Structure 1
Amino acid sequence: MIKLDHLAVACTDLAEGTAWVETQLGVSLQPGGQHPRYGTYNTLLGLADGLYFEVITKEPGAVPEAGHAWFGLDDFTGPPRLANWICQTDDMAAALAKAPEAAGSARALTRGDLQWQITVPDDGSLPYQGAFPTLIAWGAGMQHPSARLTPSGVRLLKLEVSHPQAPQIAQMMDLADARVVMVTGPFGLRATFDTPSGIRTLA
C-alpha cells in the first residue's frame, strides 16, 4: 500500500516559482534545502493531514553528482506548474514490484538528519510524464518533514491526475485515497486546496 506524501511544483527559477505558489495559495513558503546528488534546491509548505508541498528547481551553478537532475527538471521549460506527486511506502520492494519499469529504481539519500529512499529513473525523467507518482520511503523512526514545517492552514481537497493511459497507470499502484482522481485525457496534474483565503487550484 502506498499513500500520498507530498506534491511538487517545478520551475526554472526558485524565487519565481515560490512567488507564484504564494500568490495562488495566499500563504508563505519556508526555506527548504539542497539536493547535491541531483543539483536541485527547494522551498516548502506544510499542509494539513501529514502532507507537504515543495517548489523545486535546478540550483544555479550546481553540478549534479548523479550527472543529471531529477523530477524531469533537465527538460523542464515554461512557467511554474504542478509537475509531480510523491507517494510514501513502508515497503519499497513491494511498491516497486507493482510499479512500471519507468518508475526507476530506489536511491538512498540523506540531508541533515533526514534519510529516505526515492525512485528516480536513470535519466531523471518522470514516469508517464508525472502521471505515475515518485515513490518514497522515509527512514524508520524519523520525524516526517510535514511535522517539521509551520502549519499553513492549507488542506489538499483533490488531486486530479490526467493521462491517456490513466486506467492502466491506476492498476500499477496500490493507492486508496479518495482525494486522488485518475482521469483519461491529455497529461496534467491539478490540485485543489482549501486555504485561509478560500478554495484555490494549482495546475
Structure 2
Amino acid sequence: MLELDHLVLIAPSLAEGVEHVRASLGIAMPYGGAHPEMGTHNHLLRLGDGAFLEVIAVDPSAPAPTHARWFGLDDAAAVRAEWDAGRRLRAWVARGRNLEALLAAQGGLFGEAMWVSRGDRRWRFGVRPDGALPAGGAAPCVIDWGERGCPAPAMPDLGARLERFVIEHPDPAGLRDLLTGLGLGRLPDIREGAETRLRAVIGTPEGPKEIG
C-alpha cells in the first residue's frame, strides 16, 4: 500500500521556489536541509500530520554526484523552461514499505532504491538511472522513510493543510488504472487535460489558495 507523502516544486533555485510559495500561499517556508548524496537542498512546509510541500533545487555549493540527481534536476535548461512556463509543482512522492519489491514489480518506472540523507535522517528513494520523473510526473516517486516515518509531524505548523491534489493528464482513465495498480490507498483528483499538470489547493490562515 502506498499513500501520498509530499508534493514537490522543482525550482531553478531555492530563492525562486520559496518566493513562488510566498506569493501563492502567503507563507514563508522554513529551510529543510541538504542532501549530500544528490547535491540538492530544500525548504519544507507541513501540510498536516502525514504530508508536506517541498521546494527542491540543486545546491550550488555542493559537489555534483556521480549518478543522476533525482527529480530531473541535472537538466538545468529543462527545469528553467518548465518553471518559466508556469509548471512548477511537477512531482509528488508516495511512501510505502518493502520498496525493493515494489521497484522490482514495476520494471523501469521508478528506477532503483538509493540511500539518501538530510541531517540525521536516512531513507530509501526510488531513482531512475536518468533521474527522470516517473511517467513525466503523473506517477509518484516512491520513498520508504523507515521506522521514523514521515517527518511532517516534526515540522513547524504554520497552519497550511492540503485540501485537494489535482493531476491533469491526456489519458485520465489510463492514469487511474496505473495508480490503482500501484496500490495507492487514495487517488489524487485526476482530470483530463492536454498535458500533465499538477496543482494543489492548500488551506492557509487566509483561506484556501492554489499552487501549481
TM-score (norm 2): 0.87
In the alignment, which residue of structure 2 is the partner of 1:40?
40
Q: Which has the higher helix share?
A: 2
Is the 2:36–2:118 contact (alpha carbons within 8 Å) kept by the matching residues of 1? Answer: no
Distance 1:46 1:130, change over 3 A: same
Aligned partner of 1:121 among 118, 128, 133: 128
Aligned counterparts, 1:14-93, within 5 A = 14-75=14-75, 76-77=79-80, 78-79=83-84, 81-93=88-100
| C-alpha contact 1:49 1:155 (8 A) present in aligned 2 | no
More strand by share: 1
| Distance change in 2, residues 1:95/1:143 (3 Å) | closer
Deviations 1:146-183 (A, max 9, x none): 122101211111111122344333333211225x1222
Shift of residue 42 of structure 1?
A: 0.6
CA-atom RMSD in angstroms: 1.9
Moved segments of 4+, more than 6 Å: none
CA contact (8 A) 1:84 1:131 kept: yes
CA separation of 1:143/1:132 partners in 2, compared to 1, >3 Å: closer, same or farther? closer
The equivalent residue for 2:190 is 182
The amino acid across from 2:167 in the alignment is V
- Provide the identity percentage: 36
Distance 2:4 2:176 in 1: 14
For residue 97 of structure 1, report the CA deviation from its aligned partner.
4.5
Asked if the contact 1:34–1:40 (Cα under 8 Å) also holds between the matched residues in 2, the reply is yes
Q: For 1:91 and 1:169, locate their aligned partners in 2 and report how far apart those are by CA, in whole Å.
A: 23
Give, as a single letter, the amino acid of the residue that structure 2 aligns with 1:123: D
1:86: how far off?
Answer: 0.3
For 2:124 and 2:152, locate their aligned partners in 1 and report how far apart those are by CA, in whole Å.
17
1:167 is matched with 173
Any gaps of 5 or more consecutive residues in structure 2? none
Which of the residues 149, 154, 164 maps onto 1:158?
A: 164
Q: Deviations over 1:85-128 (max 9, x none)?
A: 00000221343245352211111223332121111100111111
For 2:54, what is the secondary structure of its paired residue?
strand
1:149 partnered with 2:149: no
SS at match of 2:22: helix
Helix, strand or coil: the match of 2:27?
A: coil
State the Cα distance separating 1:138 from its structure 2 match.
0.7
Displacement of 1:133 in angstroms is: 0.2
Q: CA deviation at 1:61?
A: 4.1
The answer to whether structure 1 residue 105 and structure 2 residue 132 are counterparts is: no
SS class of match (2:71): coil
Q: Which whole-Å deviations, capped at 9, do the CAs of 1:19-66 have from their partners, x for residues lacking one?
A: 110221112211111112221111111111421111011111433223
